[in-house]
Every structure is written in structure tokens, then in C-alpha cells.
Amino acid sequence: MTKKNRLFLLLSPFTFYSLLFFLGPMLILFIFSFLEPGIYGGVEWNFYHDNYGRILGWADGEFEDFDIIYTIIFLRSLRLALITVLINLLICYPAALWISNLNPKLRNFFIFLITLPFFASLVVRLFAWMIILKPSGILNQVLISLHIIDEPILMLFTEGAVIVGMVYVLIPFMFLPLYASIEKIDLKLIEASKDLGANKFITFFKITLPLSIPGIIGGSILVFIPSLGNFIVPDLLGGAKVMMIGNLIEQSFLMGRNWPFGSALSMMVMATVVIFLLFYVRSVSKYENETETIK
């Protein structure tokens, strides 16, 4: 078998799968976003740009209205997603640093622990968070019995609850790339830095941190994408108050029966993600050229 044939065989399942189930639907969404919504759902095959107009501000005001609320929801999603990334980074970086210094057996054990929540259903885990956060929930009861607060505070159905939930759900996506890049750093470099007169802090900021940038960027993107489009977490923990773009898309498709509008929203989310992704690929490939490990 020639090398070419073998490569073709090896790659064909992946190519076939992603063409059929990823690019196909994507193409449909893209086309739908420029079509007129049907009166009873579905689409009319006419070119129609007001789906985007409703979001971006050129809708005619006759059949479709521009509403600033979509921009607000979009910006809120962006903000919550970025906060989620930041908090996740602050939680995972020290943990990854610590775990990468353990002996290999313990390391694997901790990585197992980090991925453990995946074994349970996402919805079940989020319901658990509801039980923790609700006014009569565990957290409020503990705080009251410790006399820190007098009456239950509203934790569920707030932005805070959504952030807590998203951070929790996405921890492995931040942790694993971070861990992979920190663990790859040659211990000898750390020693060399200390040998040359740098204490722990200087060594961290001048050696460890810059060398783990690929992991930071990778983890951030992996957390950013699912947080931006997330609808389960804001649905369960945010309620009606904290609507994110994912909820809006879900509603347009399932409740509003307005597929073209939902498609247009999805395309907007995707455009944002692609912009961030381009930034990611560019900075990482630039970085990797510079820091290939010395043989």
C-alpha cells in the first residue's frame, strides 16, 4: 500500500464524519441566516438580511425591529465568558503548577480526580449546584448557622451563579492544556534560573510563566468557546434573569420557531469565536517557532 493510500484510509473516517456532521449543518445554518422566516416556522427561499439587521441595527421596522437587547445579551455573554476564562485560569494555574511537581503516580491520580465530574451527567451536577445555591440551600443554611448572614441571600438566578456553574463545568478544559504545557517545561531551566541568582518569584515570572503561554492560550480558548455559547448553565442557574446568547439561540429555534434568526445569532457567535481562534493560532504558532525545545 502506498503512503498516499494509507493516509487516505486513515483520514477518511474523520473527513467523512466532519464533512457530514459538522460542515453540513454549518452550511445549512449559514444559508438559513440569509433566508426569510416562514410564517409557521421553516424558511421561505428569499434572500433576507433583516435577521442580521435585527441584531446589528438596519432592520426595516415593518416586519422586523432592531432591538438593542440582542447587543446587550451578546455583550453580557462575552463578559461572562471572559470572566469564566479568567477565574478558571486563576484556579487552574496554581493547581497545574503544583500537580506537575508531584511524582508521576500522584500526578495521574490528581488528573483522574480533575476529570472525575465528567463521569456524572451535566444536568445532574447542575441540579446539585441549584440545591447548594438556592435560598433554602446548603450554602445559605451554613452561612446562617454561622451567623454570617441573618436571612438567606439570593444566590441562585444571578450572574454569579452562572459564572460559578460555568467555571465548575469547564475546569478540565482549562486544567489539561495548562498542565500539559507546564509539565513539559524542563526542570533544568528552573534550576538554571535559580543558579543564576533568581529567586522563586523571578524564576516564575521570567521562565515558567512565559514558557506556559501556549497552555494559557489553549486553555482559555477551550473555555471561552463553550462558555460563550453555553445555554444549559444560564438556563438552570441563571433562570430568566441571566439570559445568554446561547439561550437566545435556543429560544429562537425551539420556541420562536424562527430558524433564520437563530442561525444569524449562531453565525455571530461563530464569527466571534473565529476571530479569537485566529488570534490563538497565530500567537501559538509564532510562539512555538521561537521555543522549540533544544535537543
Binding site for other proteins (CB under 8 A): 186, 188-189, 191-199, 202, 206-207, 210-211, 290-294
Among candidate residues 89, 133, 126, the one with its CA nearest the CA of residue 231: 126
Nearer to other proteins, 150 or 292 (CB): 292
Hey, what's the torsion of the CAs at 195, 201, 204, 210, to 10 degrees?
A: -110
Nearer to other proteins, 12 or 291 (CB): 291
Nearer to other proteins, 65 or 191 (CB): 191
- Give the H/E segment covering residue 36: strand 35-37
CB of residue 7 to other proteins, shortest distance in Å: 29
Smallest gap from Cβ 180 to other proteins, in A, equals 17
Q: What is the Cα–Cα distance from 177 to 273, expressed in whole angstroms?
A: 18
Shorter beta-carbon distance to other proteins: residue 147 or 188 = 188
Point out which residues pair with 39 in neighbouring strands.
41
* Other CB atoms within 10 Å distance of the CB of residue 80: 23
Minimum distance from CB of 94 to other proteins (Å)?
21
Three-state DSSP at 254 gives: helix
The minimum distance between CB 192 and other proteins, in angstroms, equals 4
Quick one: 241 or 286, whose CB is closer to other proteins?
286
Nearer of residues 70 and 280 to other proteins, judged by Cβ: 280
Which residue's CB is nearer to other proteins, number 46 or number 293? 293
* 251-271 per-residue burial string, b: 16 or more CB within 10 A, e: under 16: bbbeeebbbbbbbbbbbbbbe
Q: How many CB atoms lie within 10 A of CB 4?
A: 8
Q: State how far the Cα of 38 lies from the Cα of 283, in Å rounded to an integer.
A: 43
The strand pairing partners of 44, in sequence order, are 36
The secondary structure of 140-165 as a DSSP string is HHHHHHTTS-SS----TTSHHHHHHH
Beta carbon of residue 211, minimum distance to other proteins (angstroms, whole number): 6
* Dist CA 64 CA 221 (whole Å): 34
User: Considering only CA atoms, which of 124, 74, 127 is closest in space to residue 243?
Assistant: 74
Q: CB of 9: closest distance to other proteins in angstroms?
A: 35
CA distance 74 to 80: 10
- Closest contact distance (angstroms) between CB of 92 and other proteins is 21
Q: CB atoms < 10 A from the CB of 112, how many? A: 9
CB of 45 or CB of 201, closer to other proteins: 201
We find the least distance from the C-beta atom of residue 210 to other proteins, in angstroms, to be 5
